[in-house]
Chains A and B, each alone.
Chain A
Amino acid sequence: MTLLSIILLPLAGALLPLFTERFGRTLCAYSAAFGPLCALGILLGSASSVFSGHTEHVFFAWLPEIGLNLSLRLDGLGLMFALLIVGIGLLVVLYARYYLSERDSLGKLYALLQLFMMAMLGIVLSNNLLLMIVFWEITSLVSFLLIGYWSHQSDARKGARMALAVTGAGGLCFLAGALLIERIAGSFELDAIFAAAEQIKAHANYPVILVLVLLGAFTKSAQFPFQFWLPHAMSAPTPVSAYLHSATMVKAGVFLLARMHPALAGTDGWFYLVTFTGMATLLFGAYNALFKHDLKGLLAYSTISHLGLITMLLGFSTDLAVVAAIFHIINHATFKASLFMAAGIIDHETGTRDMRKINGMWKYMPHTALLAMVAALAMAGVPLLNGFLSKEMFFSEALHLESMGMFSWIFPLMATLAGIFSVAYSVRFIHDVFFNGEPIDLPKYPPHEPPRYMVVPVEILVGLCLLVGILPNLTIAPFLEAASRAVLGHEMPDYHIAIWHGFNLPLIMSFVALAGGLLMYKQRSGLFAFYERKFRHDEKILFESRVQFSVRVAQMFTDFIQNNSLQRYMALLIGSAVVAIGYALLPNMQWMGPLSVTELEPVSLLAAIILAVGALGTVLLHHNRFAALLLMSVVGLVVSLIFVRYSAPDLALTQISVEVVTIVLLMLALYFLPQMTPNESGAKRVGRDILLASAAGLGMGLITFAMLTTPYETISDFYLANSVSGGGGANVVNVILVDFRGFDTLGEITVLAIAAVGIYAMLNGLHLPLPQADGDGRLWDKEPHPPILSVMARILLPLAILVSVFIFLRGHNAPGGGFIAGLVTSVALILQYVASGTVWMQQRLRWRYRRVAVSGVLIAVLTGVGSWFFGYPFLTSTFGHFYIPLIGEIELASAMAFDTGVYITVVGATLLILAHLGKLAQTTHSPRPSTSTSFTEAELSKGEN
């Protein structure tokens, strides 16, 4: 539980600074430090148990179905990284308080920093690979926001985008690798994966897994050839750079290498890929760092090179190399964070980061200069500083490696070369910035020491560099031991960290590097000219051009499929459906099942012919819209006959009443639309559409036939068996609707009500030109409401209502129910509208149909909620028998109340739609009888050609 709070504290703490920002910057900083401080306390508290070899676990199931669990572990590696993350995070909080100008929002920076801290802690404490990836992606996202903190600068935006693109792509590779690992290990839990290490390494997919996981690690840790994002991420505020690009984000990649070391390392593939990538990065970074004039640029390339060094050591994967790698992770984090902070101070005080301008700072800020120089010497690997110890171990491991046979000399050689460059750029950092004459037109002059507390974090870090460098066994050894044990999986190899190992080969290499580095720096003018001539390359331009290129390709593709023509979308959609389903079904389709075909009935054949005439007629006559509509209604009637024939009286009743409402609706709408469809499809278009339609129809027909001739097991036996006993109704279809699947029905009437309200909104303020004549040019009758019809309709109304009540009441036990009753009521009321007009109806029926529809849904919901009061789940129904005087015993089910809701919704929604559409005709008709005739006639003449 305490383990979980380590992650939750910064997460909760992320909100604090946003609230406290208005009370001043110092309070804001305190509140930002609160969460991490508590986390630090918890971590230190559990340190001793970790040192003794205990691994703490926490496990909560999150989405166990896919293997994602909130599963954490605190082992030596996790502890070491967590301390780095929280510790340096706290120093960055203090530093940022003084670094950020008044204009920038301190609270936002703190919130993002803590969010980032949370994600990093999540990565290092995860015991579940999938969980780790979740946090991994959060670091990518939050780092995007942090790098782009100054979002008004285009550099910051582009740098942030590049970092996100590169690390995000790597994260996806990592995810793919993790999924493959799970297929072999059977779990995402790290313990299970470590246990299955041998199976993973022996598996045919191992090379793929390795490459994918390494891609994730290499992109995050800026390894060659993905290093280019890191220098561009320097457009972030310096506290962010000090945190992300020294101690945390870029270390996530090497952390992943260390974490997956037990599961993936120890093969040739690992050795070659990791070692040589590390070596290339080491040299590339060290070489480029020397030539950067930007202070942070130098540090960025130096970071790349040190990350390469760590990667290379992990690639060696001997026991001592792993110890050295972990040691260097700590050392690099301390000296590089302090250097970034020092660079930020110099930037802050001089207003520039250009080393050609910043000179002679020793005179102006001796305190900062001294600290920065010590840190830079640690970076160069000078004795008595921590960088020296791990570099010495690196040289020694490079010397002892014999995996490459006769080519093994390449490692010490390259290591020394990188050492030379590393000394050279460190010396440049010291000499160019703090000495080398006077500063040249600084934006801020004269520079002076920064606020006292801004230097404190640097002092602490430099103090650690010295302490570890001089007394390694008293300070760092237990952490190192616990971390190495976690990576190696067994006890520590016999080793001791010491400043003096005697006069041996690694020491000579160190001296060569020191001397060579000094010499190289002395010859810098020639080298600089050479670099300027030969090696000027800008990854940003390349990256941006790639981005532009992919945008163009995407645009071309979009333009092809999205040409703003619904007809093309439809054709593509139907075509894709036909192709996809055909591709899946054709190869192993069984055209006919084992059941034999039943005999053809003559009456059914006749009905089918009528249906065919209706359907084909609708298509053939679709230019004459009214005729097509009438023919289509024939199809609807035959469909309801199909329902009758095959034992579905409920469906037949619903179909026939919906049919009436639909046709009335379509006729009403047709009144406002052109009566004719112009003939505008070319022969090619018609041919294509006939082809598509035939393919779709043929496919549906074949699937239907295959389905009908295949025997099946129904799942409805449950409903048949429990309808009376459980639902209190004999009509199983109705009981399914209002009881067994009541929740679906609730959703459905909600959709109906939403559609009605949407239609109401669309009709609001709609003005349509009114036709004065029908399709053949005959004028509409002046008397819209013939008396015979209105008298008949009024007589019919009570009868129809009676019928609908009857249908409603018997619905539970015989064909009927809320839907059908609602539709019958609607039809009866619509008939009144048609016969007597909207005005007449409005005077008599003052319902607001919106309210009716919504209250129907509300009744249904309340029925469902009601069962909560009796301690049952939502929509549990009950029923009982009641005795009413005169009528006798009747059965009442609570589902009846639900069905009432359905009934009211159907009536409300249907009338809302139709009455408002009808009112449209009325309102636009009467006041201005002949306004828009010209438009209508133009429309008509077009329709007829």
Chain B
Amino acid sequence: MEILISVVIALLTSCGVYLLLRGRTFPIILGLTLLTYAVNVFIFMSGRLNPGASTIIGVGERYTDPLPQALVLTAIVISFAMTAFVLVLALRARAELGNDHVDGRNSVEEVKS
């Protein structure tokens, strides 16, 4: 299972980073979201794989580490706020610049960097 989880995190990171490197705002936001999934799962996994355990006192026999869960819970909400912010920033940029390229350029020739 450890290998599978590692592969999942690796895949999510790769897909996220690749999309992050695109030139248009929407794919970048998608990439950011994928990267967020990867990071959240990674932090969550620092509590190790504990199927069938519990974080509620008095329920179940084994307890899993609640701290990474608390961290990830806040991380999920914060990343929602961040996604929303970047998204509206992208909308605003499109309104101001007339296109949705991250550098504010539209033509294909110009974007060679």
Contact = CB atoms under 8 A, between A and B. Distances in A.
Interface of A: 563-568, 570-571, 574, 597-601, 604-605, 608, 611-612, 615-616, 618-619, 622, 625, 628-629, 632, 635-636, 639, 642-643, 645-651, 654-655, 658, 661-662, 665-666, 669-670, 672-674, 677-678, 680-682, 689-690, 692-694, 696-698, 700-702, 704-705, 707-709, 712, 714-716, 719-720, 723-724, 730-733, 736-737, 741, 744-745, 748, 751-752, 755-756, 758-759, 762-763, 766-768, 813-815, 819, 906, 909-910, 913, 917, 935, 942
Contacts of B23: 567, 680-681
A567 B4 contact: no
Residue of B13, B16, B45 with most partner-chain A CB within 10 A: B13
Given A708-B5, A733-B73, A763-B88, A647 B37 contact: no
Interface in B10-66: 10-27, 29-30, 33-34, 37-38, 40-42, 44-59, 63-66
A651 B14 contact: no
B74 A745 contact: yes
Contacts of A654: 73, 76-77
Given A567-B113, A615-B34, A704-B6, A736 B67 contact: yes
A677 B27 contact: yes
A608 B4 contact: yes
Contacts of A766: 91-92, 95
Contacts of A690: 18
Given A647-B53, A693-B18, A917 B73 contact: no
- Contact-size category for B: 35 or more
Given A635-B34, A646-B44, A758-B85, A612 B11 contact: yes
28 contacts: A565-B111, A566-B102, A611-B8, A615-B15, A618-B30, A619-B19, A622-B22, A635-B12, A642-B44, A646-B49, A646-B50, A648-B44, A648-B55, A650-B55, A669-B26, A669-B88, A680-B111, A689-B22, A697-B14, A697-B15, A708-B45, A714-B67, A716-B65, A720-B66, A730-B57, A733-B73, A758-B85, A768-B94
A642 B50 CA distance: 11
A719 B82 CA distance: 29
A720 to B, nearest CB: 6
Interface of B: 1-27, 29-30, 33-34, 37-38, 40-42, 44-59, 63-67, 69-70, 72-74, 76-78, 80-85, 87-92, 94-95, 98, 100, 102-103, 106, 108, 111-113
Contacts, number: 302
Nearest to A622: B27
Nearest to A741: B70
A647 B76 contact: no
Contacts of B45: 704, 707-708
A597 B48 CA distance: 12
B113 A762 contact: no
Given A714-B67, A732-B66, A748 B74 contact: yes
A942 B5 CA distance: 40
Contacts of A906: 77
A707 B34 contact: no
B56 A917 contact: no
Given A598-B49, A700-B42, A731-B55, A618 B34 contact: yes
A601 B78 CA distance: 32
B57 A628 contact: no
Given A565-B103, A719-B66, A597 B2 contact: yes
B34 A647 contact: no
Nearest to B67: A716
A681 B18 CA distance: 12
A767 B95 CA distance: 6
Given A632-B33, A669-B90, A642 B19 contact: no
Given A651-B69, A658-B77, A698-B10, A574 B100 contact: no
Given A622-B19, A632-B34, 18 more contacts: A615-B12, A615-B15, A618-B19, A625-B26, A647-B50, A651-B44, A669-B87, A673-B90, A673-B91, A678-B108, A689-B18, A698-B10, A698-B14, A704-B5, A732-B55, A748-B78, A766-B92, A819-B73
Contacts of A736: 66-67, 70
